[in-house]
Amino acid sequence: MLKQLLLGAAWSLAATAAFAAPPDAALQGKLQAVADKARPGTLGIMVMDPASGQSVMVNGGRSYLLMSSFKAPIAAAVLAQVDAGKLKLEQKVHLTPADIVDGSAVPSVGASLKKGPRDVTIDELLQGAVSESDNTAVDALLHVLGGPAVATRFLEDKGVHGMRIDLSEGDLAHMFEEKGSTAVLASKVDSSTLEAAAGFLQKLDAGRLLSPASTRKLLGLMTAQVIPSRIRAGLPAGFQLADKTGTSGTEDGRRAAFNDIGIITGPNGSKRIVVLFLSDSPASSDEATGWFAEIGKITAASM
């Protein structure tokens, strides 16, 4: 009888352990393996099912420099003011060559100002900032918004804690020039945790940040992003991605940030939020892009 009781207890413990095992343990292991390749840089990874909120995470518990990934939350803050009637998409903003901030994925708002002053609508600035990653456009939006603190307050008010916007693209570039990458990373300016970035995307996708029209607009701008690499490069045919990338320059052979945050939608309508922040890495852009594409492929296979 004692032997049967012991066997039964052992079976019960084994069954309990198996039941308690994370359902995404295999996914966790695959993501960890990619993060290991990124050493000595730190690759933060979070994959979340937005419907259930279940997620797997690697290298959490810290903040990461957002770089241009902050353009999506800034756009959300601007669209919230459009929803509130404080701004209008057709509203014009007067810009001059003095407003140019270097950096864009394609010739965009900043490039057009080299020919002279022009009036640009908020709608054009949103497209330039999010779809074309134009630094001039996002800094103009921040000015119209009332500054970075307004964007951070919007996020906090919506329950997105752990994402902060402190500096414009131009001011951050000056900080890099004056103090260097190590100081910028240590300062935690323009940064986010994995959980905050995923939370922002989850709330955006669920329509909990903006009106239905503004939600569709921002997701459309993210889907139309002109940078086709990173997560998107690993997705099979039939998968879609609404995302925003971010990239810093290099200093002494190390890159402060190489990012991609987005929402993957599969052919069957299932979704996954993916947040990737690579920090302080000696990897080349091609190497980092390969890791991000691999994570996109792994995530799609798990859906």
Full-model pTM: 0.91
Q: Label the pairing between strands 250-251 and 271-281.
A: unpaired
DSSP 8-class letter at 108: -
CATH number where 136 lies: 3.40.710.10
Query: Is 16 a domain residue?
Result: no
DSSP 8-class letter at 210: S
| Alpha-carbon span 125 to 123, nearest angstrom | 5
Residue 227: predicted pLDDT: 86
HSE on the CB side for 215, CA within 13 Å?
Answer: 13
Range of the domain at 253: 24-302
Q: Which two tokens stand for residue 51?
A: 């419907």
| Overall number of domains in the chain | 1
Average pLDDT by stretches of 10, the chain with 303 residues: 37 33 78 98 97 95 97 98 98 97 90 95 98 97 98 98 98 97 97 98 98 98 93 97 97 97 97 98 97 98 95
Query: Is 18 a domain residue?
Result: no
Query: Is 10 a domain residue?
Result: no
Residue 117: predicted pLDDT: 97
| Alpha-carbon span 29 to 132, nearest angstrom | 34
Residue 2: predicted pLDDT: 32
Query: Is 5 a domain residue?
Result: no
| Alpha-carbon span 121 to 92, nearest angstrom | 4
Residue 107: predicted pLDDT: 86
Residue 1: predicted pLDDT: 38
Query: Is 245 a domain residue?
Result: yes
Query: Is 8 a domain residue?
Result: no
Query: Is 203 a domain residue?
Result: yes
The C-alpha torsion from 83 through 84 and 85 to 88, rounded to 10°, is: -40
Query: Is 6 a domain residue?
Result: no
Please say whether the beta carbons of 89 and 120 come within 8 A.
Answer: no
